[in-house]
Amino acid sequence: MEENFVIYTEMKDFLKLGPDDEARLASLAPVFEKHGPGITDAFYDALLAYPKTAAIVDGRVDALKKTHIRWTMSLFAGEYGRPFYEQQYRIGEVHVAQDINPEFVEGVMNSLRLGGRQAIETELGSGMDAVLAHAALVKVLDLALMTINLAYQDERLTRISNFTGMSRKLLENLVKRGGKKKK
Ligand code: HEM
């Protein structure tokens, strides 16, 4: 967990998600108060339109939409420290536990990028403010996705470790060395 938070912090630096973006994201909250529910509807429409994902969400879409809207608004709290990291990592764990293929999590993020862009254009037009606001949105969505993926990576190592009896540390070192044996 601790090592993953270090990776999260590095990725946040790498994406250059700094105070300007944080302020821009916080100022987008009213835009997403208004458009968030429509974006969430489109998100679940995308999942319901594909048989493999529909089979997972069918029958519980109304409940899922409620948590999804709460998550959407948390993107615009303007704070992306440890609690934000923990929230995304936990979402990763929840999806791992449901045996949802990570490709679908990555794929459906597309509907949030597109829906977010449309909402920003509708409210802010297409000038520089809108361009910078959309850039900030994409950064925070990518950061969330990377963190969700960290939970998937962790779980895969745990499963291989449990199955093979090899220690987690050994497996982690093996992955870091690209599978090459120590000379
Ligand atoms: C960008 C991608 C996604 C985001 C941001 C997201 C967000 C969330 C959030 C915030 C929760 C509630 C977590 C909690 O209870 O702590 C959740 C739960 C859930 N999500 Fe997603 N989700 C994504 C992709 C998907 C996909 C692709 C599927 C199915 C194909 C899916 C199916 C579910 C299910 C079934 C639950 C309920 C799990 C449970 O209650 O045990 N999600 N999701």
d(CA 155, CA 158): 5
Percent of the chain's residues with pLDDT above 70: 97
Per-residue confidence at 156, pLDDT binned at 50, 70, 90?
A: confident
Mean pLDDT of all residues in the chain? 94
Q: Report the C-alpha dihedral over residues 63, 68, 108, 75, rounded to 10 degrees.
A: 180
The reported pLDDT for the residue numbered 170 is 87
- CB within 8 Å of 118: residues ≥ 6 apart: 35
Nearest CA to ligand 1 atom 7: 68
Nearest CA to ligand 1 atom 2: 105
Q: Is 91 in the pocket of ligand 1 (CB under 6 A)?
A: yes
CA distance readout (Å), 116 to 4, 36, 54, 183: 27, 8, 23, 50
Q: Is the dihedral of CA 128, 129, 130, 134 positive or negative?
A: positive
pLDDT digits (tens, 9 = 90+) for 60-83: 999 999 999 999 999 999 999 999
Q: What is the pTM of this model?
A: 0.92
Contact 123, 31 (CB under 8 A): yes
- 25-33: average pLDDT: 98
What is the domain partition of the chain in residue ranges?
A: 2-176
- Domain 2-176, CATH: 1.10.490.10
Percent of the chain's residues with pLDDT above 90: 82
